[in-house]
Each structure stands twice: as structure tokens, then as C-alpha cells.
């Protein structure tokens, strides 16, 4: 098991120039990523960056929430809800529902596997049956990276990302 904290996170400008994100995990570390897990603070409305051949998941962590217009369809995302899955190629415009929002993001390149993103609030034993399991704890800003067969008990709110690699 590997534990990442704020000393390991990289803060980078958004591709569209509208803000910054903190990369919690990126593989590979340099060049185009296969998988990326990050947290961003959205302070102003605007378009999302376009990512070709990338699947994305978004989950607000704090703030009032987001109104997203995706391919002409309007969706409201609020902290405590489920993660939204969408294509990095979709045209997405974001409005804030009442001030800045911090959100959790997962991106994976098509053909590099599948992920399942879930939000948890109860005590659970997380056993890694996937190729790898990431557990992000927003309260203490730590990301736990478990490999197949490893287990972690958790009782504080967290987000899990199960990664099943393509063969």
C-alpha cells in the first residue's frame, strides 16, 4: 500500500487555462496519462477542457454544487451525490450553484481499463479485488493506493476508485 499526501500532489494549470488542479495520482507520471486522479477548485463558470479518447468522472466535494450543460442536457451535481461519468470529448459548460466548488476527478484513456467510482460514508473494509484500488479521504487530503489482495478499514467519508486494467 502506498499513501500519497499533499507533499506528493502536483498543482497544474487547467488545459483550458481557466484554473488549476491538484494531481493526486497520474500514470505514467510524464507525458500523456493512462489514468489520472485529481482534485480541483472551480471558482468561475466556463467550458471544460476537451480530452480526446478519455472517459471522465466528476464528483463535487464541497460548495453548493455545479450545473453542467453536457451536449445540450443540463445536470445538477452536489456534494454527497454520485459521480457523473461522461466523455472527455463532450462539450461541457459549467455554472456554479452558489460560489466556488471543490471537486474530485478521475480520467482514464480509452483502452486502458475500466474504473468504478463510489462515495462512502460508513465504516467498511475495502479489499482490493481490482488490479488497484484508490481511496481518497477529503478530510485529511490523503490518497491510499492498494494493490490486488490488500485491505484497508475506513470510517471517515471517502471516495473509492477501482481500476481494472485492460489485458
Answer yes or no: do 32 and 77 share one domain: yes
In a domain, residue 71? The reply is yes
Whole-number average pLDDT of the chain: 93
Q: Indicate if the alpha-carbon torsion angle 28, 89, 113, 139 is positive or negative.
A: positive
Is the same domain home to 90 and 27?
yes
Residue 89: inside a domain: yes
Q: What pLDDT, on the 0 to 100 scale, is given for residue 85?
A: 97
Q: Please, which pLDDT band fits residue 104 given cuts at 50, 70 and 90?
A: very high
Asked if 68 and 99 sit in the same domain, the reply is: yes
Please report whether residue 2 resides in a domain: no
Q: Coil, helix or strand for 60? A: strand
Q: How far apart are CA 160 and CA 117, in angstroms?
A: 6
Pair 84, 132 in one domain: no
In 10 A of CB 143, how many CB atoms? 21
Which residue is it, cell 471517515? Answer: 156
Pair 34, 98 in one domain? yes
User: What are the backbone angles phi and psi of residue 27, rounded to the nearest 5°?
Assistant: -135, 130
In this structure, are 30 and 105 located in the same domain? yes
Residues 128, 50 share a domain: no
DSSP-derived secondary structure for 120-161: E-S-EEEE--SSEEEEEETTTTEEEEEETT-EEEE-S-EEEE
**Structural domain includes residue 1:** no
Q: How do residues 37-78 score in pLDDT, each as one tens digit?
A: 999 989 889 999 899 999 999 999 999 999 999 988 999 999
Domains contained in the chain, number: 2
Distances (CA, A) of 102 to 76, 130, 165: 15, 27, 28
Beta bridge pairs of residue 143 = 4, 136
CATH number where 105 lies: 2.60.120.10
> Residue 95 above 80 pLDDT?
yes
Residue 15's domain comprises 9-109
Same domain, 18 and 91: yes
Amino acid at each position: 500500500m502506498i499513501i500519497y499526501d499533499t507533499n506528493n500532489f502536483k498543482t497544474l494549470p487547467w488545459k483550458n487555462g481557466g484554473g488549476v488542479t491538484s494531481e493526486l495520482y497520474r500514470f505514467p507520471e510524464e507525458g500523456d496519462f493512462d489514468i489520472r486522479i485529481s482534485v480541483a477548485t472551480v471558482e468561475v463558470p466556463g467550458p471544460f477542457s476537451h480530452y480526446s479518447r478519455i472517459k471522465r468522472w466528476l464528483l463535487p466535494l464541497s460548495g453548493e454544487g455545479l450545473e453542467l450543460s453536457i451536449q445540450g442536457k443540463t445536470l445538477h451535481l452536489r456534494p454527497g451525490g454520485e459521480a457523473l461519468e461522461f466523455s472527455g470529448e463532450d462539450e461541457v459548460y459549467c455554472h456554479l450553484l452558489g460560489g466556488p466548488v471543490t471537486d474530485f476527478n478521475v480520467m482514464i484513456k480509452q483502452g486502458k481499463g475500466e474504473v468504478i467510482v463510489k462515495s462512502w460514508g460508513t465504516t467498511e473494509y475495502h479489499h482490493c479485488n481490482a488490479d488497484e484500488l484508490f481511496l481518497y479521504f477529503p478530510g485529511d487530503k490523503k490518497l491510499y493506493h492498494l494493490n490486488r489482495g490488500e485491505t484497508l478499514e475506513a470510517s471517515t467519508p471517502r471516495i473509492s476508485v477501482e481500476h481494472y486494467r485492460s489485458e
